[in-house]
Amino acid sequence: GNSVTQMEGPVTLSEEAFLTINCTYTATGYPSLFWYVQYPGEGLQLLLKATKADDKGSNKGFEATYRKETTSFHLEKGSVQVSDSAVYFCALSWANGNQFYFGTGTSLTVIP
């Protein structure tokens, strides 16, 4: 079946540190892959996405590359800021978004 596995948190980093949050998926075929972010007290917002193999999604300094060979979509940022403190969810979807599968979420705290 379809599933998403992401790195367990919580993750605590100092400002300007490098961030990697691992995400791997199980699916047949080529789903679309997403990273969503949930800031404290808010709903989920799309951070970035990739719809086919080798695509790189990027936004706000975050990047993730759709790797079919390793079934991965790891989130990276070269220099995190305090404002990046949030929960990050990896997800995959089929059928134009009508079937969505979320990872468990990874909490990130960035300290000054």
Q: Which residue, 19 or 91, has its beta carbon nearer to another protein?
A: 91
CB 89 within 8 A of CB 25: no
Q: Is 78 left (phi over 0), alpha (psi -120 to 50) or beta?
A: alpha
With binding defined as CB under 8 A, does residue 40 bind another protein? no
With binding defined as CB under 8 A, does residue 2 bind another protein? no
With binding defined as CB under 8 A, does residue 28 bind another protein? no
With binding defined as CB under 8 A, does residue 112 bind another protein? no
User: What sign for the dihedral angle of Cα 100, 33, 22, 2?
Assistant: positive
CB 33 within 8 A of CB 71: no
Give CA 104 to chain center in angstroms. 11
With binding defined as CB under 8 A, does residue 66 bind another protein? no
Selected binder of another protein within 45, 79, 81, 83 (CB under 8 A): 45
Residues that bind another protein (CB under 8 A): 32, 34, 36, 42-46, 49, 51, 89, 91, 93-94, 96-98, 100, 102-105
